[in-house]
Structures are given as structure tokens and as C-alpha cells.
């Protein structure tokens, strides 16, 4: 394609959704797109469909930050100008890829990294077991130590899902000299044993683990997988951590377990509804450490996301393909 023709074209209207920190414009060189660009960064989450349609009505390109906003068939049908969707990551379960393609809308993605989420997982575990947020608050109020922490060495780390992310978490658990066990629906025991991780039954994991951490992909198979009976079988001194997806866990059952103190606490980065409603009971429970789905929110990963988003859009303008995306 002739660059002069491309650069003389009408500005390409690009809307970046859910850019909470307002970092999209400075995270990549949007000038590398071989066409004039009109870039809008939306720094709040738009949950109202009418408002969302109005905001996206004239967009040729929509950039989705992970799964913060669903792009359903109904929504896509209301966006006649939309030609391209680019999502961060290689897949996005809340984009109706088939509906988009049926309307001639191309869907592309980026690469990703698992290390940031595994690091946050350990941040939550340590914050819970050593009462770091509570001790920080007490210090600022003029107090001194008032909690008794829990050692990691010799404790049981139960990993639900030993995929790439779960394996990273397991390596750190072993470095802390924990007894690392694992279970999932499709676990290959040999894979676990090769990593020095003991495969166990579902019941044994929940019954014996001092820390249960979830590392599964959300699918119809895993939705609601962890329920009341799993939580009820946990030790009253055990903690539960989820940095994967909220709907994998029965949230009402988890709130009940925390309220009744049948488990000691929970570290959560993901929720059924995001952003978490301001009146949600999880926000007021004292035995939780809550983060706003920031497992992947790091400077390094964001730079990768946006640099590759610009590459995807530039390739699309030139009529080339780089990275397609899946819906799961």
C-alpha cells in the first residue's frame, strides 16, 4: 500500500477501553501506525450499555484491556463503524470472536507474561500470613506489633491447577521449603512429580493445605468449580488465594467461610463482578487482603501490551496479519 495514500487518509479513530491509569497514550509510539490517528483513552469502566455504545459509535478500532469490558454480539451489532478489535493477551473470553468475524470485524491480540501474576500471588500470601496490611495500619495509628504470623517453611501449599502459572508459584513455594501439593481435573501426575510437586486428590488438597491458591483458566468446566464443600473441608487456620478468575469460586460460599471464620482469611485479586461493587461484603471483612485485579498490571507487561497493540494496528492498516486471538 502506498504510504502517501495511507497518511492522507481520514484519521483512524481508536478507543482504548478501561485504561484506568491513563497510561495507554504514553506506553507506545502510536505514530508508528501508517495513518493519522485520533486516540481516545477511557479511564473509567463503562458498565451501562447505552453509554458504551455512544462512546464507541464512531470508533474504527477498539482496544480491550483483558476482560474488563465484554464485547458481545449485541454490542457489536450496535457499532457499524467498528473494523478492528485488539485485546491485550492472546485470548479473551468476553469477546464474541465469531460474531465479530461474521460482521467483518477482525480480532487480534498480543503476547503476555505470567510472572507478574505469580509475583502478586506471593504478595497476597505473605500479606495474609504475616498480617502486613494490619500491622502497617497499626503502625500509622501509633501502635506496635499485635499479631502472630505464620511460617511458610514446613507448611502445605495446595495449588489448584499446575499449568504454566501454577508451576511458577510452585517453584517459589519449594524455595520457601513448603510441601507443595496439587490437584486439577486434568492433572498429569507425571508432570507434577517431575516438578517435585505431589499430586493429591481434590479432598486431600483442601483438607491438608495451609495455603490454597487457584491457577485455572475460566471455562464452562471450571466455572463454580470450587464450592461450599471444598471451603468447608479447609483447616480453620488455612488461607485461600485467587488471582485467576472470580467465577471459578462460589463467591457467596467464600464470603460465608470468611464471615464464620471457618477459614482464616483470603487474598483476592479477582471477583465475580469487576470493578467490585462498593457495598460488596468482601470490602468490609477484616480477614481479607483485596487487590483490584492487578496481577498483570505492571510497567513491563503494559509496555509489551501497548507496543504490540500498535504493531497489530499498523499491520492491519497495511493489510497484513500479525496475531489473531481466541475467545478462550
> E strands of 35-129, at which residues?
37-41, 61-64, 84-87, 106-108
Return the higher-pLDDT residue of 114 and 128: 128
Please check whether residues 74 and 93 belong to one and the same domain: yes
- Whether residue 247 is contained in a domain is answered as yes
pLDDT at 4 over 50: no
- Residue 196: the pLDDT is 97
State the pLDDT at residue 7: 52
Structure confidence at residue 10 (pLDDT): 86
What is the count of structural domains for the chain?
2
Does residue 322 fall inside a structural domain? no
| Distance from C-alpha of 212 to C-alpha of 52, rounded to nearest angstrom | 38
For residue 190, is it within any domain?
A: yes
- What pLDDT score does 5 carry? 43
Other CB atoms within 10 A of residue 63 CB: 27
Asked if 84 and 124 sit in the same domain, the reply is: no
In the prediction, which pLDDT does 324 show? 75
Cα gap 103→259, rounded to integer Å: 48
DSSP three-state, residue 264 = coil
pLDDT digits (tens, 9 = 90+) for 292-327: 999 999 999 999 999 999 999 999 999 998 777 766
Name the burial class of residue 104, with classes exposed (0-12), middle (13-18) and buried (19+) by CB atoms within 10 angstroms of its CB.
Answer: exposed
Residue 179: CATH number of its domain: 3.40.50.720
The answer to whether the CB of 181 falls within 8 A of the CB of 205 is yes
Q: Is 327 a domain residue?
A: no
Q: What is the DSSP string of 196-234?
A: T-EE--HHHHHHH-SEEEE-----TTTTT-B-HHHHHTS
- CA-nearest of 111, 84, 72, 103 to 16 is 84
pLDDT at 127 over 50: yes
Q: How far is it, in rounded angstroms, from Cα 213 to Cα 41?
A: 34
pLDDT average, residue stretch 272-279: 96
User: Among 5-14, 64-73, 264-273, which stretch is predicted with the lowest mean pLDDT?
Assistant: 5-14
According to the model, what pLDDT value does residue 222 have? 96
- The verdict on 120 and 226 lying in the same domain is yes
- What pLDDT was estimated at residue 1? 46
Q: Let me know whether 173 and 240 are in one domain.
A: yes
Which one, of 172, 199, 164, 166, lies nearest residue 183 by Cα? 199
pLDDT tens digit sequence for 133-148? 999 999 999 999 999 9
CA neighbor of 259 nearest in space, from 248, 249, 251, 271? 251
Indicate whether 153 and 232 sit together in one domain.
yes
pLDDT at 18 over 70: yes
Q: Decide if 328 is inside a domain.
A: no
What is d(CA 30, CA 222) in angstroms, rounded to the nearest whole number? 38
Q: How far is CA 105 from the centre of its chain?
A: 25
Please choose, from the candidates 120, 128, 3, 84, the residue with its C-alpha nearest in 3D space to the C-alpha of residue 310.
84
Residues 21 and 109 in one domain: yes
Enclosing H/E stretch for 158 = strand 156-160
In sequence order, the 6+-apart residues with CB closer than 8 A to the CB of 213 are: 121, 125, 157, 158, 159, 160, 166, 169, 240, 241, 242, 243
Q: Domain of 171?
A: 115-290
Same domain, 123 and 74: no
The residues annotated as belonging to the active site are 245, 274, 293
pLDDT tens track for 91-111: 898 999 999 999 999 999 999
Return left, alpha or beta for 61; rule: phi > 0 is left, psi -120 to 50 is alpha, else beta.
beta
As a whole number of angstroms, the distance between CA 165 and CA 301 comes to 15
pLDDT of residue 195: 97
Task: Examine the domain organization and report whether 154 and 249 are in the same domain.
Answer: yes
Sign of CA dihedral 12, 99, 93, 312: negative
**Mean pLDDT over residues 207-232, rounded?**
97
**For residue 102, how many other CB atoms are within 10 A of its CB?**
11
CB 162 within 8 A of CB 197: yes
| 143 and 92 within one domain | no
pLDDT tens digits, 172-210: 999 999 999 999 999 999 999 999 999 999 999 999 999
- Per-residue model confidence (pLDDT) at position 325: 78
Based on the domain organization, do 173 and 51 belong to the same domain? no
128 & 264 share domain? yes
Residue 143, in any domain of the structure: yes
**Is 156 a member of any domain?**
yes
> Cβ contacts of residue 246 below 8 Å, gap of 6+?
268, 270, 271, 272, 273, 274
Residue-averaged pLDDT of the chain = 95
Residue 86, pLDDT > 60, answer yes
Task: Clarify whether residues 89 and 204 are in a common domain.
Answer: no
Amino acid at each position: 500500500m502506498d504510504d502517501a495514500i495511507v497518511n492522507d487518509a481520514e484519521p483512524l479513530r481508536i478507543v482504548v477501553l478501561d485504561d484506568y491509569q491513563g497510561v495507554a497514550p504514553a506506553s507506545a509510539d502510536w505514530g508508528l501506525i501508517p495513518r493519522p490517528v485520533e486516540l481516545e483513552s477511557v479511564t473509567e469502566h463503562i458498565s451501562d450499555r447505552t453509554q458504551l455504545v455512544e462512546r464507541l459509535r464512531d470508533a474504527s478500532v477498539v482496544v480491550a484491556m483483558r476482560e474488563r469490558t465484554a464485547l458481545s454480539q449485541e454490542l457489536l451489532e450496535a457499532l457499524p463503524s467498528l473494523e478492528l478489535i485488539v485485546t491485550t493477551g492472546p485470548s479473551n473470553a468476553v469477546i464474541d470472536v465469531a460474531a465479530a468475524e461474521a460482521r467483518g470485524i477482525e480480532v487480534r491480540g498480543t503476547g503476555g507474561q505470567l510472572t507478574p501474576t505469580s509475583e502478586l500471588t506471593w504478595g497476597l500470601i505473605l500479606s495474609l500470613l504475616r498480617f502486613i496490611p494490619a500491622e502497617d495500619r497499626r503502625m500509622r495509628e501509633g501502635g506496635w506489633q499485635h499479631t502472630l504470623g505464620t511460617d511458610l517453611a514446613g507448611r502445605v501449599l495446595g495449588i489448584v491447577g499446575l499449568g504454566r502459572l501454577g508451576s511458577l508459584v510452585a517453584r517459589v513455594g519449594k524455595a520457601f521449603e513448603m510441601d507443595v501439593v496439587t490437584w486439577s481435573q486434568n492433572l498429569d501426575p507425571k508432570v507434577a512429580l517431575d516438578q517435585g510437586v505431589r499430586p493429591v486428590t481434590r479432598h486431600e488438597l483442601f483438607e491438608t493445605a495451609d495455603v490454597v491458591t487457584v491457577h485455572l483458566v475460566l471455562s464452562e468446566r471450571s466455572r463454580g468449580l470450587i464450592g461450599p464443600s471444598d471451603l468447608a473441608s479447609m483447616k480453620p487456620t488455612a488461607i485461600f488465594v485467587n488471582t485467576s478468575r472470580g467465577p471459578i469460586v462460589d463467591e457467596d460460599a467464600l464470603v460465608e467461610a470468611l464471615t464464620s471464620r471457618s477459614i482464616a482469611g483470603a487474598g483476592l485479586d479477582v471477583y465475580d463482578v469487576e470493578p467490585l461493587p462498593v457495598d460488596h461484603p468482601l470490602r468490609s471483612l477484616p480477614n481479607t487482603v483485596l487487590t483490584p485485579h492487578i496481577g498483570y498490571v505492571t510497567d513491563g507487561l503494559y509496555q509489551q501490551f501497548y507496543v504490540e497493540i500498535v504493531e497489530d494496528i499498523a499491520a492491519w492498516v497495511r493489510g497484513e496479519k500479525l496475531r489473531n486471538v481466541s475467545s478462550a
